Structure 1
Amino acid sequence: MSGTAATYSLTLPKRVLVPVSVIVLGLPALVVAAAIYQPWLDPKWLFLDVVVAAREADECCHIAFGFMSQLGIIMWTCVAATGLLTALVLWIRGDRSAAFSLTLFAGLLHGWMALDDALLLHESVLPGLGLRQTYILVFYILLGAGYLLSGWRLLLRSDWWLLAIGLVAVGSSLLLDLTVYDRSTAGVVLEDGLKFYGLAVWSAYDIALFTLIQLRAPHAGS
C-alpha cells in the first residue's frame, strides 16, 4: 500500500465484500418485513415516533410503539460516535486531510439527525419556532450533499455503491415526506420503511469506511 493519501484503498477485501454486502442489504429488509408482517400490532405504530404513535393511536400505549424509530436513533448515534472518534484519531495523528473533514462532517451530521429524530426537531420543534418543514427538509438534503462533497474522492475509492443504495432509499423517504402527507398504514410504512432501510445500509457503510480509514490512512509525515 502506498504511503500517500491519494492512493490508499478504502474497499473491503473481495473475500469479505460479498458476505458483508448480503448481510448489509438483506438484514434491514428482513427487519422491515418482520415489522410489517408481525401479527400483534398495526405496523405503522412501530414506524412512527413513540410520542406521535402514543398521540394518534386509539389506545395508549404499547411497548412496541416507535420500535423502528428507536432503532433508527440508535443507528444514527452509533455512526455519529464512530465518525467523531475516527476524526479524533486522525486529529491526534496530525491528519488534516479530506479523511478528517469527511469523518468529522459525517459524525456531526449523524449526531444532529439522531437529535432530530429523538426530539422531533423537523416535525415539531423547529416548525414551532416559525420554520417551515419543507425548508428544513431541503436544508437536510443540502447537508447530505455537504457530506458527499466533504470527501468525495475518498468515497469514490470505497464500496460507494452501498452508500448509493442507502442514500437513494433515504432520499426517497424525504421526497415522500416533502410531497405526500399520508398517515395511512401503507403511507407510513412506505416512507419510514424506506428511511429505516436506507439508514441501516448507510450506517453500515459509514462504520466500515471509518474503520478502513483508521486502519489504512497514513500517519502525518509517514
Structure 2
Amino acid sequence: MSRGMQVLVAAFIVVLVIGAALYADFVSADVARVSDLTRDATAVIGVPWWTGVISRLTALGWAIAAVAAVGAGRHARTDQRSRLLFLGGLCGVSALDDSLLLHEEVLPSMGLPEIPFLVLYAVAGLGLASMWLRARRWTPVEIAFAAGVVMMAVSVLVDVVVNRAAVEDFAKLTGVVAWCFCGVWAHEDSVRGPVPTNGPEQPPVPVPVPVPPTRGHADAPAGCPGRRGPGTKPGQARR
C-alpha cells in the first residue's frame, strides 16, 4: 500500500470515528453531550486522575507492542514475518479490547456471551505460541516472546483461580512490556542483523597481506616471483 493510500485510510478512519460520535450524541439518550465521548473518562465522571492508571498503561503497551511487531514483520525474514504480524494483530485486538472493554461490557450489553470471545483468544494464543516454538534458535526476541506468554498465562490463571485483580493486572502489564521488547528487538535485528547467541563471538580471521619484493629476494630459488634475473637492477622487474 502506497503512503498516499495509507493517509487516505487513516483520514477515513478518523472521519468515521467523528461521525459515529456525532451520531451517538444525536440518537442516544445516554450520551448527554459529545464531550462525554471525546474527553478522558476520569474528567467526565470526576474521579482522581490516577484512577485506572495501570489499565490505561496496559492499553498503551498493547498499542506499542502491536505497532512494533507489525513494523518488524514487514521487514523481517520470510520465516519470521508471519509470526510477527500475527503477534501484532493479536496485540492490536487486545488494545481495543482493553480500552473499550469489548468482551467485558460491550458484548454482554448486546446480548452476546463472553465465553466465545475468550475461546477465540485462547485458540489465537495457542496458534501464535506454536508458530514461535518452531524457531530453531533462541535469540533475545524469542526469549522476550516466551516471557510474555508466561506472564499472560499467570494473568489468566490468577483471574480464573484466585480472582485477584491487582495481581492479574500487574502480570498482564509485565507480559505486554515483554512483547514490546519482542517487537522492538525483532525490528533492530531486521535492520542490523541478529545478535549472535551461540556462544562467544569468534575473533575475525586475519587476512594475509602480500609483502612486496625486497633486495633479499635476489637470492631466492629459481621460479620465485621475487627473484631477479642476471643483470637486473634492484627494483627492476625481470623480463
Say whether the 8 Å CA contact 1:86–1:214 is kept in structure 2. Answer: no
Residue identity in the other structure for 1:62: P
Question: What do residues 108-142 of structure 1 show as CA deviations (whole Å, max 9, x unaligned)?
Answer: 11111111111111211123334332332232122
Identity of aligned residues (%): 29
Name 2:233's counterpart in structure 1. none
Say whether the 8 Å CA contact 1:168–1:198 is kept in structure 2. Answer: yes
| Counterparts in 2 of 1:177 and 1:153: CA distance versus 1, 3 Å | same
Mapped to 1, the partners of 2:136 and 2:106 lie a distance apart of 33
Query: Which TM-score applies when normalising by structure 2?
Result: 0.55
How many residue pairs get aligned? The number is 154
1:69 aligns with 2:89: no
Name 1:172's counterpart in structure 2. 154
Residue identity in the other structure for 1:122: H
Name 2:116's counterpart in structure 1. 135
Q: In structure 2, which of residues 139, 143, 153 is the aligned counterpart of residue 158 of structure 1?
A: 139
Provide the secondary structure at the position in 2 that maps to 1:154.
coil
Provide the secondary structure at the position in 2 that maps to 1:78.
helix
Name 2:70's counterpart in structure 1. 84
Say whether the 8 Å CA contact 2:72–2:186 is kept in structure 1. Answer: no
Q: Which structure has greater helix proportion?
A: 1
Name 2:180's counterpart in structure 1. 203
| Counterparts in 2 of 1:155 and 1:115: CA distance versus 1, 3 Å | farther
Query: Which TM-score applies when normalising by structure 1?
Result: 0.59
| Counterparts in 2 of 1:197 and 1:170: CA distance versus 1, 3 Å | same
Structure 1 residue 194 displacement after superposition: 1.4
Say whether the 8 Å CA contact 1:79–1:206 is kept in structure 2. Answer: yes
The CA RMSD over aligned residues, in Å, is 2.9
Provide the secondary structure at the position in 2 that maps to 1:132.
coil
Between the two structures, name the one with larger relative contact order (CA 8 Å, sep ≥ 6). Answer: 1
Say whether the 8 Å CA contact 2:69–2:182 is kept in structure 1. Answer: no
Say whether the 8 Å CA contact 1:137–1:178 is kept in structure 2. Answer: no
Alignment of 1:89-128 (within 5 A): 89-90=75-76, 97-128=78-109
